[in-house]
Amino acid sequence: MSPMLVVIKKEITDALKNKLFLIILGMLLLLTIVSVVLGSYQVKVSLDSYNQSISFLKSLGKTNFPAAPNLNPLSSSKSFVNYIGLLGALLAMVLGNASVVKEKRSGTLKLILSRQIFRDTFLNGKVIGNMILLFAITFVTSIITLVSVVVISSAPISSGDIVRMFLFFLMSFLYMTFFLVLGIFLAVLIPNGNKALLITVIIWLVISFILPQIGDTMDMDNQLPGGFFSSMGMNKADTQKVLDHFKFYETTRDGIEQMSPTKHYERVGFALLNIKPGFEQNTALEVLSIKWIDVLGLLAPSIILWLLAYMVFLKRENIYQE
């Protein structure tokens, strides 16, 4: 067995013994099941209500029936976006940090690296092993979601919907991978494991909550409940005149939002799940091609951090100390 495979296997085995990881995973799965079941039940209630209306109209001899409501069975995964944003990210950060810190604390890092294992191979094994875990979690969750939607909601689900759902879970996987790599990078960079975890959490808070919040808060129309322009009694033409004078401000605001992988995950996720209107007629791949900037916004930071982790890990002399 190649050294990298040994590290991968060890990583998966270790994670399944990590109590903190198991607790967060349990919470994530529980919340996912509850939200998906409730979401699917809501779709079922809407479908039943519509079918009852049709039966009633038929009994009155009507032939013109109202159009079916937009049931969108994919919307049952809407809450999942928030859970991945919170617990999924936390799970990935814990995995990333623990994968390096546990080896330092137990003294096994020195032992492993004294064997015929290069530092880059070791790091690859760590990242790939944890990515396999995250992929397995998202895959299991996607299967639970799909089964719940089909069994509970009874809503018609097309092959296109299934592809959209799996691609959405792939985006969730990429989002968690970013936090995994961030956790590993900071654990390699900062000698103190606890400090590394603390800084990882702080960065997560900044990019997941503060940056999107700044973007939202800076939006002029969000300054008053019900919309600033509407509250000021401004019509669309006047609103546009005002916005026209704030082009730079708007670009800055958007730039801050673009720095947040959470925002990118939300944008591509909501488009795939049809929660954001305007993507109903597109295929899943078309949605990804339209939202490529958001996919890139999830991928690029992970790649950059991975490369930086290589360089830091290669040169660190005090890697065994904490």
Partner 1 sequence: MKTNTTIFSVLFLLTLVFSFMQKDIQVFASEVPSITSNYEMVPGESTNARISLENMDTVPHTYTLNFGQLPEGFNGYFSLDGKVINSITISASQKNLINFFIDVPLNTSATNMSIPLEIIRDDGVKESLSVSFTLNPNYALSISSSIQSIKAINGDSIMLEIGVTNTGNKDLTDLSLQVDPPYKWIVENVDPTNLTLKPGENSLYKLKVTIPTSGQAGQYPINISCTNSDVTSNSISIPVNVSTSVNYFWWITGIIGVLLIFTILYFKKHGRR
Instruction: Give contact residues for partner 1 (rule: CB under 8 A).
Output: 53, 60, 62, 113, 118-120, 221, 236-237, 240, 243-244, 247, 250-251, 253-254, 267, 271, 276, 278-279, 281-282, 290-293, 296, 300, 303-304, 307-308, 310-311, 314-315
Measured CA to CA, the distance from residue 269 to residue 284 in angstroms comes to: 11
Angle at 153 between CA 152 and CA 154, to 5 degrees: 95
Q: Cβ of residue 2: shortest distance to partner 1, in angstroms?
A: 15
246: DSSP letter: T
Measured CA to CA, the distance from residue 214 to residue 224 in angstroms comes to: 15
Q: Closer CB to partner 1, residue 194 or residue 222?
A: 222
Q: Cβ of residue 197: shortest distance to partner 1, in angstroms?
A: 25
Q: Cβ of residue 90: shortest distance to partner 1, in angstroms?
A: 27
Q: Closer CB to partner 1, residue 250 or residue 322?
A: 250
Tokens of 225: 């409940």
Instruction: Return the percent helix, strand and coil in the chain, to nearest 5.
Output: 80, 0, 20
Q: Closer CB to partner 1, residue 133 or residue 319?
A: 319
Q: Cβ of residue 66: shortest distance to partner 1, in angstroms?
A: 8
Measured CA to CA, the distance from residue 65 to residue 53 in angstroms comes to: 9
Measured CA to CA, the distance from residue 217 to residue 212 in angstroms comes to: 8
Q: Cβ of residue 265: shortest distance to partner 1, in angstroms?
A: 14
For helices 119-148 and 159-189, the axis angle rounded to 10 degrees is: 150
Q: Which amino acid does the sequence have at 301? A: P
Q: Closer CB to partner 1, residue 87 or residue 305?
A: 305
Q: Closer CB to partner 1, residue 251 or residue 318?
A: 251
